[in-house]
Structure 1
């Protein structure tokens, strides 16, 4: 029968009208729910009475409206509290001083005076290198040095002897000049005498033999004069004005100055030999002193007060040099350590040297440690955008060991009134420095922008946008529109 009605024309029209009525009714119900018009709500209720079996009743709508108007949400009252501004960070413990101890003397480790992990004091013996090869080398060098010292003495004596000989040479030179002058005079006299004899001989007054004897005497005097001249030339080598000028000296005005200059220029070779001998002696002395220093350095002492952190070489092992991989042990100072922290650059602006740092180590959770900032790095790490700081910490009890993980708070200022709210009560903007909170006024929620500061322990500081006594919602912030009625439920925790 139902199929026959559907197939009939009247039946189809009737079904179409019912479908349109049903759809219009649904549309009116939805509009009335979102509208505050009471007339619209009443009209909708009247028109949809025939469909009350399928649509919510007016009482149900009223119930829904009341539920919407009284949306229950967790809330809190904003209170101003006195807070000391701090920056939170994590980091690690690092040693203040570390020294890798080498030996300046290559060779075999003869003896060690330490054990790994034990305390050592500055100046304490650590190890000793084998010294026999150096001691033998020192004996050879000292022998060579003594020989060089004898050479210096000999060269020095030769120098002073050469200077002393100059005065004798000057006297000999003056003597040869006198002999030359005498020989010249005798030669001149012989020439005059020979001229007279020659005239008389030509006149027949002298015999041929007498003439030849006179001529022979003249030649003898001439030869003696020439030999005297040559002797003067030989004796004057190094003693003339030319020699003085050639050695970059001025012609002296007095005899004493001349003698000094002549002594100097006539003993240059001996002086150079003396200087060379002294240079060789100094070189040998340097070798001896170097070997003695190496013998002294063969015994190695601790450069600081600390702990032997690691032993790399044992007795009997060979050290080829003091280069990489040749250190014998590492000594670290653990009586004072550094707390090394990496602070985000946005929070590093107020950090200064001298600020207090308090921290805990994961392995000593019940104990608090403190230190003072010694270094704020002037460079920001480009990868992590953090600033490294180092705080000096007393560690006399040696509870802190390099490499320990720590969690720290850095006090950056004096105690001041501050508003802190749970981080979940804020919708952060993209820049992270501002956000949205939901204020409750007259039973309705309103979105409000705030400026934010650092956050820690699940709470965030609000610098602007909230006042003492304000009520804010703690949840469903993104779902609430301005003006929505809410029922704030205050968290008692």
Structure 2
């Protein structure tokens, strides 16, 4: 990474006063006074700034992959094309899924028919329960009738027994009367047994055994009796319904997989890369495209670690893109890396800026400028005045009463061809510009009039 300098803005102040502009030949050994050009140190108002350079990069990217295997039928967009979120960008052909869908549709038809059959059987069984209830009522009436007839025959038989006892009836007549009563008794008993059989499953104890409590209305009682007498068929309906639901869920899953064979752009942006071609066979997770979100972009640039304390997230950044000429763009610092590059001593900064016309492309070269402090007064001299420079220390020559003297100085921030002197000289001092390495401290010099 290139070396980045901390710089400053010259806002106001006096101009550097140049007394000369040319050099001279080396002084003769005797009788020669070397001419020098000088500047007068003046305090000027500066605004600290950090200048750097970097590149444009995307705000976000999305890799577009397939979720099913198949054959690439179409790839609708090329690298560099703009796409909208949801736009169809590719189509995959999967014969196995299409066959599976047809098979699932057949299973749904079968399951639906099985459910309809089970429901019909259940409905018929409930009607039969209603018929049984009616039959029970009829049998109850028949039992009651037979009971009346039996009681009547019993009364008649008792009278005949009395007559027979006094000789008023023959043996044959009493025998016939007894047989008639016995037959009526048998019919009554059979009717009672038949009624008991018909009531099985329809009794109050059957309702209680199923977990229901009394009292119940007659309507509720009938519905409960229908339910407990058709439990098996009701279970068959549930099984058939579950089978149909499973087939429908299978169809939904297949349709979802088929829908994913139509590949859509996940975000609005630019196609940054296309990896495959139509006709190629792909497996799940195969990458088709990379879509770059360029609605906003980052300007990524380095700053020296010593300047990190002067920048914070949200600070404005002036961006100049060489490809767009002298146009200035406004951005804000979005991210400051916590890591320092051990080779360069720089940290990486990301500034976010809008890109409505998508004019800013990844990789474009940018120049950046961050105002890093408040304006202040400073002593500035041209960098050419420095006889020696090592880090933040340096040496320069001042002219006092026609002689040069060596001054060790502390350096501050730099701006283009100027450097700040923090200690070592004072305002109004005369400093030699572009000093000859042959000049010696204490040597007589003459300030050039040019």
TM-score by length of 1: 0.61
Which residue of structure 1 lines up, in the alignment, with residue 313 of structure 2?
352
Provide the C-alpha distance between the structure 2 equivalents of 1:79 and 1:279, rounded to a whole number of angstroms: 90
Which residue of structure 2 lines up, in the alignment, with residue 370 of structure 1?
329
Which residue of structure 2 lines up, in the alignment, with residue 314 of structure 1?
277
Query: Which gives a bigger RCO, structure 1 or 2 (Cα 8 Å, sep 6+)?
Result: 2
Provide the C-alpha distance between the structure 1 equivalents of 2:124 and 2:227, rounded to a whole number of angstroms: 12
Provide the C-alpha distance between the structure 2 equivalents of 1:425 and 1:231, rounded to a whole number of angstroms: 131
Provide the C-alpha distance between the structure 1 equivalents of 2:240 and 2:180, rounded to a whole number of angstroms: 55
> Out of 23, 45, 51, which is 1:81 matched to?
45
Residue 111 (str. 1) matches residue 74 (str. 2): yes
Residue 332 (str. 1) matches residue 292 (str. 2): yes
> Out of 353, 372, 386, which is 1:392 matched to?
353
Higher normalized strand content (fraction of residues): 2
Which residue of structure 1 lines up, in the alignment, with residue 7 of structure 2?
none
Which residue of structure 2 lines up, in the alignment, with residue 58 of structure 1?
none
Provide the C-alpha distance between the structure 1 equivalents of 2:397 and 2:157, rounded to a whole number of angstroms: 151
Which residue of structure 2 lines up, in the alignment, with residue 153 of structure 1?
116
Which residue of structure 2 lines up, in the alignment, with residue 42 of structure 1?
none
Which residue of structure 2 lines up, in the alignment, with residue 286 of structure 1?
249
CA contact (8 A) 1:358 1:409 kept: yes
Residue 409 (str. 1) matches residue 333 (str. 2): no
Q: Provide, for residues 454-476 of structure 1, a one-character-per-residue CA deviation record: whole Å limited to 9, x for no partner.
A: 666587768x989983759899x
Deviates more, 1:116-125 or 1:349-358: 116-125
Is the partner of 1:251 in helix, strand or coil?
Answer: coil
Provide the C-alpha distance between the structure 2 equivalents of 1:225 and 1:247, rounded to a whole number of angstroms: 31
Provide the C-alpha distance between the structure 2 equivalents of 1:376 and 1:412, rounded to a whole number of angstroms: 16
Provide the C-alpha distance between the structure 1 equivalents of 2:199 and 2:184, rounded to a whole number of angstroms: 22
CA shift in 2, pair 1:340/1:447, >3 Å: closer
Q: Provide, for residues 85-132 of structure 1, a one-character-per-residue CA deviation record: whole Å limited to 9, x for no partner.
A: 433445442212322222344211123333344555555543322254
CA shift in 2, pair 1:339/1:230, >3 Å: farther
CA contact (8 A) 1:159 1:270 kept: yes
CA contact (8 A) 1:418 1:461 kept: no
Provide the C-alpha distance between the structure 1 equivalents of 2:339 and 2:321, rounded to a whole number of angstroms: 25
CA shift in 2, pair 1:447/1:294, >3 Å: closer
CA shift in 2, pair 1:251/1:349, >3 Å: farther
CA shift in 2, pair 1:332/1:214, >3 Å: same
RMSD value over aligned CA atoms?
A: 5.1
Provide the C-alpha distance between the structure 2 equivalents of 1:390 and 1:124, rounded to a whole number of angstroms: 30
Residue 168 (str. 1) matches residue 131 (str. 2): yes
Q: CA deviation at 1:171?
A: 1.7
Provide the C-alpha distance between the structure 1 equivalents of 2:153 and 2:412, rounded to a whole number of angstroms: 128
Provide the C-alpha distance between the structure 2 equivalents of 1:445 and 1:330, rounded to a whole number of angstroms: 62
| Structure ID, larger Rg | 1
Is the partner of 2:213 in helix, strand or coil?
Answer: coil
CA contact (8 A) 1:348 1:387 kept: no
Q: CA deviation at 1:338?
A: 1.4
Which residue of structure 2 lines up, in the alignment, with residue 34 of structure 1?
none
Q: CA deviation at 1:274?
A: 3.0
Provide the C-alpha distance between the structure 2 equivalents of 1:287 and 1:193, rounded to a whole number of angstroms: 77
Matches within 5 A, 1:438-453: none
Which residue of structure 2 lines up, in the alignment, with residue 43 of structure 1?
none
Is there any run of 5+ residues in structure 1 with no aligned partner, and where?
Answer: 1-71, 476-483
> Out of 37, 58, 65, which is 1:95 matched to?
58
CA shift in 2, pair 1:428/1:203, >3 Å: farther
Residue 141 (str. 1) matches residue 104 (str. 2): yes
CA contact (8 A) 1:109 1:128 kept: yes
Which residue of structure 1 lines up, in the alignment, with residue 378 of structure 2?
419
> Out of 319, 338, 361, which is 1:380 matched to?
338
Deviates more, 1:200-209 or 1:127-136: 200-209
Is there any run of 5+ residues in structure 2 with no aligned partner, and where?
Answer: 1-35, 434-440
CA shift in 2, pair 1:82/1:232, >3 Å: same
Higher normalized helix content (fraction of residues): 1
Provide the C-alpha distance between the structure 2 equivalents of 1:334 and 1:104, rounded to a whole number of angstroms: 26
Which residue of structure 1 lines up, in the alignment, with residue 28 of structure 2?
none
CA shift in 2, pair 1:347/1:158, >3 Å: same
Residue 234 (str. 1) matches residue 194 (str. 2): no
CA contact (8 A) 1:438 1:472 kept: no
Is the partner of 2:128 in helix, strand or coil?
Answer: helix
| Count of residues in correspondence between the two structures | 398
Q: CA deviation at 1:404?
A: 5.4
CA shift in 2, pair 1:397/1:312, >3 Å: closer
Q: Provide, for residues 147-199 of structure 1, a one-character-per-residue CA deviation record: whole Å limited to 9, x for no partner.
A: 32222332333333333333322222222233334445555666677777778
TM-score by length of 2: 0.66
Q: Provide, for residues 274-294 of structure 1, a one-character-per-residue CA deviation record: whole Å limited to 9, x for no partner.
A: 343333333333333444444
